[in-house]
Structure 1
Amino acid sequence: MEHQHSKQLLNRVTQQLKQASSDSKTPAGNQAAFEVTIEQKEAINQIFELFRFNYHNQFLKAFPDLNTMNMAKRLWSRLLGEYSPEVIMRAAEKSVKESTFLPNVHEVLARCDIADTLGLPTAYAAYVEACRAPSPKKEFNWSHPAIYFAGRASDWFFLANTPEEHAFPVYQRNYEILLKRIQNGEEIELDIPKALPQEVIIPLAREEQQQRLQDLKKLLGN
């Protein structure tokens, strides 16, 4: 059974590498679309070392030589290029924990959940919170400001009056845009007006209290 799976895995990897080789013939004008940072390349290298250590035999069957492995790394770099090194590494580590067999790039890609990495609610949980939050929305105690801003960008009336199957994809898109901005170091905070200070009542001195009492008695004719 394991031999059969390894053979299927090798065929699948080979198929992906053929595609990568074909894609590498992209005209020079499109090369910039596939640029990745040094940090991302280093993350890909670390992932392959992680896989080599955890799936030694399967890894050697899938990547029998340096050329094959380098082609695979180029494919991974292109497909994972929109994610930060931290997200890529966390996704790879999840794959190792959850899979007995050598993961492919699409399995790692499926685990690139930015929200999870940042410690924020998933897109659907954020959507539910946005829909259930009472008005005024800005004064609600949000789990994270991104949930509020994604709701505002999606339009509160639209979210409240549109079926989930149509409303959620719109909210999800706006939420994920905000997550990527946060991932890139941008701080997103609610600009909530400060509450007015409460009136401070300073008690009158005893002499002044007595004088006001006397004045009040005279006014009442007592």
Structure 2
Amino acid sequence: MVKQSVRDIAASSTTSPTVAGQADKRTEDPNLIDTLNQVFTLFRINYHNQYHAAFGEVAVLNQAKRLWKESLGSFSNEQILQAARDVIEQSDYLPTLHKMLVACEATLVAEGLPPVQEAYREAANAPSPKNAQPWSHPAVYLAGKQVGWRNMVHMAEAKSFPLFAKAYRELIKRVLAGEALEIDRPTGIEDKQGAVLTRTDVEEKIRDLRKLFDPD
């Protein structure tokens, strides 16, 4: 039913108020504006009283759309619409921008990008050496590295999570823009048999050698 509503709304959404007003048309993506108009129309239909209480004034509505455009612009139109459908089907309350951002991020799982909370847990619990682990996506590793691995382990989650979320979301934007993120994998060194040794392997071999000379 929600999908049918989206199709019906799409036909008329181009006549809805623009995100930032007439003066800014030239600098805006018309497809994104159309998508946000569809989303807000869906919200008006499904959260009628809450919607009018929040966006009863045109100036407030346009300001909200402008903010949503800035925050959700890195996601595709399909992802934004899917997130709106998911929110409508799962909640009786008009979503905040934060809830829509989380819903949009949830659509990225198919691309290998875990939701921010899962990404944080993965980064916080990853063993060392960090760059040798099988990360779900390079963005998770790079966000943890940016925050600092010591901070990820020892800083209170109330402080480290916002830092991680900000870094991770910026990396998501880069991924959606087409950038291929990479992890600085350990180069290691080769032993006599030609096998590549990581830093951990080297440290273990050093400890073994020390035991030969000092068994106690």
Q: TM-score range by the shorter chain?
A: 0.5 to 0.7
In the alignment, is the contact (CA less than 8 A) between 2:132 and 2:186 conserved in 1?
no
| Structure 2: tracts of 5 or more residues without a match | 1-19, 195-216
In the alignment, is the contact (CA less than 8 A) between 1:91 and 1:108 conserved in 2?
no
Q: Of the candidates 152, 160, 164, which is equivalent to residue 159 of structure 1?
A: 152
Which of 1 and 2 has higher RCO (CA within 8 Å, sep 6+)?
1
- CA deviations 1:111-170 (Å, max 9, x no partner) are 222431211222222122112111111110011111100011111122222222222222
Give, in whole Å, the separation in 2 of the partners of 1:99 and 1:161: 35
Q: Of the candidates 115, 138, 157, which is equivalent to residue 122 of structure 1?
A: 115
The residue number in structure 2 matching 1:86 is 78
The residue number in structure 2 matching 1:203 is none
The residue number in structure 2 matching 1:77 is 65
The residue number in structure 1 matching 2:31 is 39
Give, in whole Å, the separation in 2 of the partners of 1:36 and 1:72: 19
In the alignment, is the contact (CA less than 8 A) between 2:147 and 2:164 conserved in 1?
yes
The residue number in structure 1 matching 2:180 is 187
Shift of 1:51: 5.3
Overall identity of the aligned pairs, in % = 31
In the alignment, is the contact (CA less than 8 A) between 2:106 and 2:115 conserved in 1?
yes
Distance 1:41 1:131, change over 3 A: same
RMSD between superposed Cα atoms in Å: 4.0
The 5 Å alignment of 1:104-123 reads 106-107=95-96, 110-113=99-102, 114-119=104-109, 120-123=113-116
| Rg larger in structure | 1
User: For residue 188 of structure 1, what is the amino acid of its counterpart?
Assistant: L
Distance 1:70 1:86, change over 3 A: farther
Distance 1:109 1:38, change over 3 A: farther
The residue number in structure 2 matching 1:148 is 141
TM-score w.r.t. the length of structure 2 is 0.58
Q: Tell me the number of residue pairs that the alignment of Structure 1 and Structure 2 aligns.
A: 162
Give, in whole Å, the separation in 2 of the partners of 1:70 and 1:88: 22
Distance 1:87 1:74, change over 3 A: farther
TM-score w.r.t. the length of structure 1 is 0.56
In the alignment, is the contact (CA less than 8 A) between 1:130 and 1:151 conserved in 2?
yes
In the alignment, is the contact (CA less than 8 A) between 1:91 and 1:111 conserved in 2?
yes
In the alignment, is the contact (CA less than 8 A) between 1:44 and 1:73 conserved in 2?
no
Distance 1:166 1:109, change over 3 A: closer
Q: Counterpart of 1:111 in 2: which secondary structure?
A: helix
